Chain A
């Protein structure tokens, strides 16, 4: 096997023993080069950017960011083999075209099978973006509880209860939370679908409001109103938005 065909792999697992086992099993596969090990989701994001691996061995239950959240935030495409003790995420894993889903503990033969598929996958241009699919394949269609925003150097984890409102800005959304704003590359419609519809109301084409922040509604002009937030800020409410608000209140 020539050097050009080597697959650069990154191991992401919070348990040292689990990483060590993978490293040992992988040592007999000479075309797999382990470029790094990460113990949590934040490290994983950084390593994927810095080390540019082709293949990710990804645990799901991890501190800070779980495996799916890591994939959502990745800025480059990478083949993924999930390695976890939990079988209940398998469906979701294959929805985002994971190469394979290994259940701990697994045999070296099972790993070899997964690698066979990974070799076929790596290097081919992906017809999909794992990060985009990961965002769509939400856990069992339940609403997300935190919003992840990545800027150059760090990841912000914003609990939905911290969010005041979200504003549409072309292809981005601007999330207003606890006096700060975060810019995320996502449309307001996409985000609205992921959030709990009983908490977040689309009061306007450009505004998604956390109902808990609403103080009162004031008439603004004929047929339109203004939402006054508890901190005094004001947001426009469209006629359709007013109807939706009335339904919820």
Chain B
């Protein structure tokens, strides 16, 4: 349906816009001094109204013939035919009306007078037609621009949505619950410690949200995030969790998907440290060798720990994210030996130039959540 007909207000405004046309048309009919003014009004008003509604028929035509994407010849020919037909129909409508008016006592020989005006009316009709067509194209341009803007916005929201969902999959909410419980505890015994813990939690969340918005981030940032996570867990586990992070400077700029290591360090804590009375060292190491980035995550493993229920999803997630980034060129291996559990991640070492920019943005732009 034509957008003007979609709402009552629009139709009213549209018809109001035709009032000047009605005045001009009536004047054009009255000026030649062939007929009394009331006959000009009686003819001019219905003709304007008719033109107003006929113009609406331009909508499907302008839609079907986009201004910028149509063959010129076809475009001009179609509109020319349309113009001739429309003006013809319009003139014929005026003739019919004049014939009807003749039946009334005051409008004798109206049709005869109308015939004399036909050339003038043709010109007016053609001009009206051209203006109306141009206005339609203008309206379509505006509408397309608005649609494009809206769909861009929608796409943005959807992307952000997907990112947040992905992020939720990477970060276990129980980490937060336990962290908050530690804050509650510290609030009583060590208020300064409670504040520090709050800041640590907030920093970690803010950074993971900001980084989660990127497709790739430098490994240095990913490891920084992992370290923040482990430092928070250290507040909970105390001496049981010891930390070793080794980052080869050559590997620091290589890119990885954001939060790639998060499920792995989380597993190291929940399956390694949490099941051990004495705890141990969680070691995260990354180096670059022969064009590849090798990341290792190691944690103590108790041989009699219960086999982890519902786990494996973290590992599957890591595998599939890496595989979609570098199909066929990644490896994720786990093994357990001598009381240590170890995950080795291997991927092509990539150091793209656009990273710097993403780098800066992650630093300054916190995520806006709509």
Contacts and interface: CB of A to CB of B under 8 A. Distances in A.
B204 interface: no
Interface stretch (A59-67, A116-124, A184-192): A59-67
Interface of B: 174, 177-178, 180-186, 188-189, 235-238, 270, 274-277, 302, 304, 306-307, 309
Would you call the interface of chain B mostly helix, strand, loop, or mixed?
helix
B185 A39 contact: no
Interface of A: 14-18, 20-21, 24, 39-40, 42, 61-64, 66, 85-86, 103-105, 139, 142, 145-146, 157, 159
Contacts of B178: 15, 18, 85, 104
Nearest to A64: B277
B304 A103 contact: no
Given A15-B238, A18-B236, 9 more contacts: A18-B182, A20-B189, A24-B188, A24-B189, A85-B181, A104-B178, A139-B309, A142-B309, A157-B304
Nearest to B189: A20
A20 B194 CA distance: 13
Given A21-B184, A24-B185, A104-B181, A64 B309 contact: no
B275 A18 contact: no
A85 B270 CA distance: 13
Nearest to A13: B181
Contacts of A157: 304
A113 B274 CA distance: 29
A64 B177 contact: no
Contact of A145 (B180, B237, B302, B306): B306
B306 A104 contact: no
Contacts, number: 69
Nearest to B239: A16
A66 B274 CA distance: 11
Most buried by B among A24, A85, A142: A85
A142 B276 CA distance: 24
A180 to B, nearest CB: 14
B177 A63 contact: no
B306 A17 contact: no
Nearest to B279: A63
Nearest to A83: B181
Contacts of B302: 63-64
B177 A103 contact: yes
27 contacts: A14-B237, A14-B274, A15-B178, A15-B182, A15-B236, A16-B238, A17-B185, A18-B178, A18-B181, A18-B185, A24-B185, A24-B188, A61-B274, A62-B274, A63-B274, A63-B275, A63-B276, A66-B306, A85-B174, A103-B177, A104-B180, A105-B181, A105-B184, A139-B309, A146-B304, A146-B306, A159-B304
